[in-house]
């Protein structure tokens, strides 16, 4: 019984222990599950915290970037305002400096004016004192003294102002004119002396004169009839002359006569044959020379009749200057001047090339060659500007276009340059003597010399009678008198030379 009791008690204790152990195991399991859930919650909380931190950082970065952009924009605006203020300060500073300089200049001018007033006052007081001293003079004498003094002062002031104005005008006008004209003249490369048309034929011997005349003069009559040229056979040894107002006819006669003399067969039939050959050759030469002239100048589209008239100028001379070479030179100069002035270069070139075309037929038509040429050009030239410029180049028309003035200027340059035209020795010496006599006619002139082929007159004056201011007026007066009393090409330079010498001797 007792044993059963003990066994029952032992079983009860064992069951309590087992129940306790079982309850502990269940609690441990629950605790482990709770711990796992806690850890999961902690991990989830950590992840959520990280996400919140990342979002917070991104938002903070965006706010920072926006703030920086706004800061840069504000800073750029501030810098722009600062630069603008600095520029305004600099502009105000310059204006302030200019105002200060102006005030300084005004102060200086006021002082200068005040000094001048003081000087005038002193001179007036001195003048009054002198007048008081010479009060014994009559009013007419005193007036004469005052007039002489005023004339001297006014003359000096006028000379000074004239010199200042001349210098200023020369600096402005000569600079532009020099750039245009000198550039045009330097760029135009032409012969110094033009070849003149020959109207004399040399003979191998005086015996040839009789053969040219022929039996009862039939050969000379046949030649004159075929060419329209007068054959002059005189006592000049081994030379015959051709006389005709038409240079083309004279050239045909010269070629025919030269070939007849070389061939030796001289009779009417042979003369007519050679004249026909020479006429065809001259016509070919005329056309070729006209085309070459247009090609050299760069003028295109000329009518064949104008080409022919232009080529005829090869056999025409004016003051010893070949008219065709002169026309080419004028065209080149006119084109250069027109380019410098901004005018129509093509019009200026064409008008320059055709400006003397009337000289080829002026013996057939009455009137000035400029208007004759304009009438001829008007028949075949479509441009009225070319016709107008040709008509105006010698001031034969009423109005003046820019191209007409350019052609007139180029014509004067070509004709007036040294060596362009021939001049007789007698006329040349007479012109030089006239130049010197005009200069010597003025008071105070000691000697005068015409130099550079009459392009300059150098005047030596007496230094005790002519001062520097009077020398300026003297140069102007001499130049004016030369313009009024002498005809000359180009321009003449008047140079006044005033020299004062001091001499010392040793003992």
Residue 335 counted as domain residue: yes
- What CATH number does the domain containing 218 carry? 3.30.1370.10
- Report which of 266, 307, 262 is spatially closest to residue 285, judged by C-alpha positions: 307
Look at strands 239-243 and 230-232 and give their pairing. Answer: antiparallel
* Same-domain pairing of 22 and 44: yes
Given this model, what pLDDT does residue 416 score? 63
Given this model, what pLDDT does residue 183 score? 56
Residue 117 counted as domain residue: no
Q: Mean pLDDT across the chain, nearest whole number?
A: 78
Q: Give per-residue pLDDT as tens, 203-214.
A: 777 778 788 888
Given this model, what pLDDT does residue 54 score? 85
Q: Which domain holds residue 264?
A: 200-287
CB count within 10 Å of CB 261 equals: 17
Residue 96 counted as domain residue: no
Last residue of a domain, one of 369, 392, 416: 416
- Residue 498, helix vs strand vs coil: strand
Q: Give per-residue pLDDT as tens, 160-199.
A: 777 777 777 777 766 666 566 555 555 554 443 333 434 6
* Same-domain pairing of 169 and 225: no
Spans of the chain below 70 pLDDT: 1-2, 131-143, 145-146, 149, 151-153, 155-156, 158, 173-199, 319-320, 362-367, 394-400, 416-428, 452-453, 489-490, 507
* Same-domain pairing of 394 and 494: no
Given this model, what pLDDT does residue 489 score? 63
Residue 349 counted as domain residue: yes
Last residue of a domain, one of 137, 165, 187: 187
Return the C-alpha torsion angle 43, 44, 50, 54, nearest 10: 160
- What CATH number does the domain containing 491 carry? 3.30.300.20
* Same-domain pairing of 178 and 256: no
* Same-domain pairing of 393 and 471: no
Last residue of a domain, one of 122, 154, 187: 187
* Same-domain pairing of 283 and 312: no
* Same-domain pairing of 481 and 439: yes
Residue 434 counted as domain residue: yes
Residue 101 counted as domain residue: no
Given this model, what pLDDT does residue 506 score? 76
Look at strands 493-498 and 456-461 and give their pairing. Answer: parallel
- Report which of 379, 291, 399 is spatially closest to residue 389, judged by C-alpha positions: 399
Buried b / exposed e across 421-458, counting CB within 10 Å, b at 16+? beeeeeeeeebbebbbebbeeeebbeebebeeebeebb
Given this model, what pLDDT does residue 323 score? 81
Decide: residue 197, CB within 10 A, 0-12 exposed, 13-18 middle, 19+ buried: middle
Residue 89 counted as domain residue: no
* Same-domain pairing of 307 and 408: yes
Helical H runs in 188-297? 207-213, 218-227, 247-263, 268-297
Given this model, what pLDDT does residue 398 score? 52
* Same-domain pairing of 332 and 368: yes
Question: How many angstroms separate the Cα of 384 from the Cα of each of 300, 401, 478?
Answer: 16, 11, 43
* Same-domain pairing of 336 and 387: yes
- What CATH number does the domain containing 410 carry? 1.10.3210.10
Residue 129 counted as domain residue: no
Report how many domains make up the chain. 5
Q: How far apart, in whole angstroms, are the C-alpha atoms of residue 492 and residue 275?
A: 48
Enclosing H/E stretch for 166: helix 139-187
Can you give the pTM of this predicted structure? 0.48
* Same-domain pairing of 383 and 481: no
């Amino acid at each position: 019984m007792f044993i059963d009791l003990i066994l029952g008690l032992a079983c009860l204790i064992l069951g309590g222990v087992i129940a306790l152990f079982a309850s502990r195991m269940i609690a441990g399991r629950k605790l482990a599950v709770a711990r796992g859930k806690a850890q999961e919650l902690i991990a989830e909380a950590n992840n959520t915290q990280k996400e919140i931190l990342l979002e917070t950082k991104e938002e903070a970065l965006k706010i920072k970037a926006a703030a920086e952009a706004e800061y840069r924009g504000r800073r750029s605006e501030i810098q722009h305002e600062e630069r603008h203020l600095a520029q305004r300060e600099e502009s105000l500073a310059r204006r302030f400096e200019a105002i200060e300089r102006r005030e300084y200049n005004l102060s200086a001018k006021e002082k200068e004016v005040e000094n001048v007033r003081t000087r005038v006052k002193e001179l007036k007081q001195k003048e009054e004192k002198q007048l008081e001293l010479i009060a014994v003079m009559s009013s007419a004498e005193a007036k004469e003294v005052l007039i002489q003094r005023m004339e001297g002062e006014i003359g000096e002031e006028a000379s000074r102002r004239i010199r200042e104005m001349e210098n200023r005008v020369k600096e402005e006008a000569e600079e532009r004119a020099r750039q245009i004209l000198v550039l045009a003249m330097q760029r135009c490369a032409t012969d110094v002396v033009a070849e003149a048309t020959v109207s004399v034929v040399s003979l191998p011997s005086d015996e040839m004169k009789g053969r040219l005349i022929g039996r009862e003069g039939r050969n000379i009559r046949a030649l004159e009839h075929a060419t329209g040229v007068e054959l002059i056979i005189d006592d000049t040894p081994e030379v015959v002359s051709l006389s005709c107002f038409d240079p083309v006819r004279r050239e045909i006669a010269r070629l025919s006569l030269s070939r007849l003399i070389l061939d030796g067969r001289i009779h009417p039939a042979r003369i007519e044959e050679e004249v026909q050959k020479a006429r065809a050759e001259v016509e070919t030469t005329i056309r070729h020379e006209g085309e070459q002239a247009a090609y050299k100048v760069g003028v295109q589209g000329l009518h064949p009749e104008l080409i022919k008239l232009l080529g005829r100028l090869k056999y025409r001379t004016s003051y010893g200057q070949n008219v065709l070479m002169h026309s080419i030179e004028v065209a080149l100069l006119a084109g250069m001047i027109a380019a410098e002035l901004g005018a129509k270069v093509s019009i200026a070139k064409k008008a320059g090339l055709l400006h003397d075309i009337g000289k080829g037929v002026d013996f057939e038509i009455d009137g000035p060659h400029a208007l004759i040429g304009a009438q001829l050009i008007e028949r075949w030239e479509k441009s009225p500007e070319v016709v107008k410029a040709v008509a105006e180049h010698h001031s034969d028309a009423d109005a003046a276009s820019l191209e007409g003035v350019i052609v007139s200027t180029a014509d004067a340059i070509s004709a007036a340059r040294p060596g362009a035209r021939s001049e007789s020795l007698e006329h040349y010496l007479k012109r030089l003597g006239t130049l010197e006599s005009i200069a010597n006619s003025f008071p105070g002139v000691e000697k005068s010399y015409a130099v550079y082929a009459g392009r300059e007159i150098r005047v030596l004056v007496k230094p005790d009678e002519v001062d520097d201011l009077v020398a300026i007026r003297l140069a102007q007066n001499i130049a004016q008198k030369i313009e009024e009393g002498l005809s000359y090409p180009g321009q003449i330079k008047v140079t006044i030379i005033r020299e004062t010498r001091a001499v010392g001797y040793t003992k």
